[in-house]
Amino acid sequence: MREIQAAAIEQAVYDLILEASYNIGPDVCEAVRRYRDAEPSPTGRAVLNQLLTRSGREDQAMMTTLAGIIVVLVIIIQMINEFFNAVKTMFQL
């Protein structure tokens, strides 16, 4: 019977975990993208962007971040427009 040292198993498992952590497959990246696009929370989207960034997909994470900023700015501009319309109505301008 062959004996396997516990330290060898421990090192092999450690190496596999590191490999899985750093080299995310394209199928997992695609799933993360889908969940990120459907995520309603800005914090959740930021976390998923970081995951994509760390997996070597910096370009897509940057584009998603920029798209998120643009969406937020559009919402803020709409709110400012509504505010000014309310002020105009209130003061009959």
Locate 66 and state its tokens: 């920029």
pTM > 0.75: yes or no: no
- For residues 32 and 64, is the Cβ–Cβ distance under 8 A? no
Specify whether the CB–CB gap between 46 and 59 falls below 8 A: no
Q: pLDDT per position in the chain (93 positions), as tens?
A: 677 777 778 888 888 777 766 667 788 788 888 988 898 888 888 888 887 777 666 666 667 677 778 878 888 998 999 999 999 999 987
